[in-house]
């Protein structure tokens, strides 16, 4: 699935189906709940993603397409079981293995399963955001955690030996399993070693204005990034740039090998 045909799709995909962009999609869980994203005190809040515009052309949400394909091929039961497992749905909001559901019906079940029968899809469409109080142990959860953190993984060498044996049985030769150690051990990454004539490594960073790659097509955020001197430019150590005769604003050619 893709919004448009790009070099990745043309090189790797046998079939490319048109997907809907985030402004055209209904998603019951656009963000995942988790104490690791507690962000201090205040209220918890949650929302759904609703389509702001109708999909262009013949674009459809990829979930709708996959549901239709699965139903036509006769394995709705397996898809429903997977959805119940993925979203943690329990009766009475779990999907019936023998049923065939639309994406909106699944979204409604997810909302009710997570937030109660009174907070279904229609409630979110009308009210937008659901909020509820955040407990202290949720806002600052680490001091309350009693989890054990294993430092010595005695099973890792055994796993390495099993992998080596499987590779040998299949005629794959003697593969390197020296990295399967019970304790972490640093070793240089071959991909990051200097490769003349390239003596620098390009590091990708995330612009704070975007949510991973999901917002790069938002024209307002695009405008913010273009007004920032660091978002869409290559940043280099000033001394390294000076040694290479590069000044601020100079065009450079970035090539990956």
Model confidence at 158, in pLDDT bands (50, 70, 90)? very high
| Structure confidence at residue 38 (pLDDT) | 60
| Structure confidence at residue 142 (pLDDT) | 82
| pTM for the structure as a whole | 0.64
Model confidence at 192: pLDDT above 80: no
pLDDT tens profile 10-51: 888 899 999 998 889 999 888 766 555 666 778 888 899 999
HEC assignment per residue over the chain? CECCCCHHHHHHCCCCCEECCHHHCCECCCCCCCHHHCCCCCEEEEECECCCCCCCCCCECHHHHHHHHHHHHCCHHHHHHHHHHHHCCCCCCCCCCCCCCCHHHHHHHHHHHHHCCCCCHHHHHHHCEEEEECCHHHHCCHHHCCCCCCCCCCHHHHHHHHHHHHHHHCCCCCCCCCCCCCCCCCCCCHHHCCECCECCCCCCCCCCCCCHHHHCCCHHHHHHHHHCCCCCCCCCCHHHHHHCCCCCCCCCCCCCC
pLDDT tens profile 106-124: 999 999 999 999 999 999 9
């Amino acid at each position: 699935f893709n919004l448009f045909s790009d070099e990745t799709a043309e090189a790797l995909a046998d079939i490319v189906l048109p997907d809907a962009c985030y402004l055209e999609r209904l998603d019951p869980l656009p963000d995942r709940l988790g104490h690791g994203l507690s962000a201090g005190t205040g209220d918890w809040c949650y929302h759904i993603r609703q389509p702001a515009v109708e999909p262009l052309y013949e674009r459809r949400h990829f979930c709708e397409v996959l549901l239709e394909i699965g139903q036509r091929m006769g394995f709705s039961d397996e898809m429903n079981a997977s959805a119940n497992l993925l979203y943690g749905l329990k009766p009475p909001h779990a999907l019936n293995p023998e049923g065939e559901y639309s994406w909106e019906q699944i979204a409604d079940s997810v909302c009710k399963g997570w937030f109660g029968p009174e907070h279904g899809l229609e409630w979110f469409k009308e009210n937008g955001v659901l909020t509820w109080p955040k407990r202290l142990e949720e806002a600052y959860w680490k001091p309350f955690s009693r989890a054990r953190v294993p430092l010595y993984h005695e099973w890792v060498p055994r796993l390495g030996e099993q992998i080596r044996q499987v590779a040998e049985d299949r005629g794959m030769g003697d593969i390197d399993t020296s990295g399967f150690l019970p304790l972490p051990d640093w070793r240089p990454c071959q991909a990051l070693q200097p490769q003349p004539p390239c003596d620098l490594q390009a590091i990708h960073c995330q612009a704070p204005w975007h949510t991973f790659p999901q917002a790069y097509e938002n024209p307002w955020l695009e405008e913010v990034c273009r007004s920032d001197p660091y978002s869409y430019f290559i940043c280099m150590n000033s001394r390294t740039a000076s040694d290479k005769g590069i000044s601020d604003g100079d065009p450079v050619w970035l090539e990956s090998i």
